[in-house]
């Protein structure tokens, strides 16, 4: 269509404008893309296809915004030497790694503690003498990485089902701090008919000491006097355990509490 100029002459119409082309947003690159990729892999699969370093990266993706998580995960492994040691580390030690802040350290601790709650709940309603692997799974997770000695009592009913787990002492263990009376009073409190005593060696070596042996005998005699069965006294190391029952230290109780050595 032609228009008319100010002087009355015809002028050609303007050509139509070309349509606007909307460009697709550029694909994200960098840390955000890596985090999205890891989350999608886990969502559609499982951790079986992940290396330990990638599992740490996935965890850090939820606690470290806007940063590259690959070097942070690598720094954790380099600092603590193993995947397991990362989760056994204290929050203070975790935060000593550059780039690991309060949120990341708290999340790592939370994951391990939640796993402990899960394994403890798995013990509920089971005959723990017939499910000793479940007992050891819980004890290894919760005690093998501890930096201080902890002395626990696992109280059972007449069907060997879990009633309670009590921490009787924290710190260096000897006969003067783990009173048989306290252990027996807790048994009465829970109406327990049997008990498994447990403590850890922070050194990682489960080899018992002379004090461990004498304490076991003292506790065994005290329980026997009030008709409470001591099924075992287990010492947890980093990668192994020691069973007092298996080594003939315990005389009380009609049935041995045999835990297969892993």
> What are 193's two structure tokens?
């008919």
Which among 116, 147, 173 is the end of a domain?
A: 116
Q: Find the CATH number of the domain harbouring 169.
A: 3.40.140.10
Q: Angle 159-165-171 (CA atoms, 0-180°, nearest 5)? A: 145
Q: Residue range 29-37: average pLDDT?
A: 82
User: Which of the four pLDDT bands, split at 50, 70 and 90, describes residue 32?
Assistant: confident
Residue 23 within any structural domain of the chain? no
Residue 159 within any structural domain of the chain? yes
Alpha helices in the chain (DSSP H): 31-44, 52-60, 69-80, 83-88, 91-95, 102-123, 132-143, 180-189, 210-225
Domain shared by 150 and 202, yes or no: yes
User: Which of the four pLDDT bands, split at 50, 70 and 90, describes residue 186?
Assistant: very high
Residue 10 within any structural domain of the chain? no
Residues paired with 150 in a beta bridge = 170
Domain shared by 141 and 229, yes or no: yes
> What are 173's two structure tokens?
């263990």
Residue 248 within any structural domain of the chain? no
User: Which of the four pLDDT bands, split at 50, 70 and 90, describes residue 26?
Assistant: very low
Q: Residue range 126-143: average pLDDT?
A: 95
User: DSSP label at 31?
Assistant: H
Residue 233 within any structural domain of the chain? yes
In 3D, which of 4, 69, 80 has the Cα closest to residue 39? 69
pLDDT score at 179: 79
CA atoms within 13 A on the CB side of 60: 27
Q: Give the global pTM.
A: 0.81
Q: What share of the chain is helix, strand, coil (3-state, %, to 5)?
A: 40, 15, 45
Domain shared by 39 and 106, yes or no: yes
Residue pLDDT, tens place only, 60-81: 999 998 899 999 999 999 999 9
Which among 88, 116, 144 is the end of a domain?
A: 116
pLDDT score at 225: 94
Residue 65 belongs to domain spanning: 32-116
**How many domains does the chain contain in total?**
2
């Amino acid at each position: 269509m032609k228009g008319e100029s100010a002087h009355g002459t015809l002028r050609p119409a303007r050509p139509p404008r070309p349509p606007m082309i909307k460009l697709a947003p550029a694909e994200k690159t960098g840390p955000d893309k890596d985090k999205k990729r890891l989350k999608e892999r886990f969502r559609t699969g499982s951790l079986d296809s992940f290396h330990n370093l990638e599992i740490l990266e996935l965890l850090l993706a939820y606690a470290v915004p806007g940063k590259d998580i690959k070097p942070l995960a690598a720094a954790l492994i380099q600092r603590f030497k193993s995947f397991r040691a990362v989760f056994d580390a204290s929050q203070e030690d975790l935060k000593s790694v550059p780039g690991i802040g309060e949120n990341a350290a708290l999340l790592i601790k939370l994951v391990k503690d939640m796993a402990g709650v899960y394994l403890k709940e798995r013990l509920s309603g089971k005959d723990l003498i017939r499910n000793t692997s479940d007992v050891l799974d819980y004890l290894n997770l919760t005690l093998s990485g501890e930096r201080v000695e902890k002395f626990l009592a696992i109280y059972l009913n007449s069907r060997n089902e879990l009633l309670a787990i009590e921490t009787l002492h924290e710190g260096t263990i000897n006969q003067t701090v783990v009173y048989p009376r306290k252990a027996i009073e807790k048994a009465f409190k829970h109406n327990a008919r049997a008990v498994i005593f447990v403590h850890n060696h922070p050194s990682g070596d489960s080899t018992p000491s002379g004090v461990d042996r004498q304490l076991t005998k003292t506790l065994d005699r005290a329980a026997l006097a009030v008709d409470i069965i001591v099924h075992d006294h287990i010492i947890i190391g980093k990668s192994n355990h020691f069973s007092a029952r298996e080594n003939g230290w315990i005389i009380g109780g009609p049935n041995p509490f045999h835990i297969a050595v892993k």
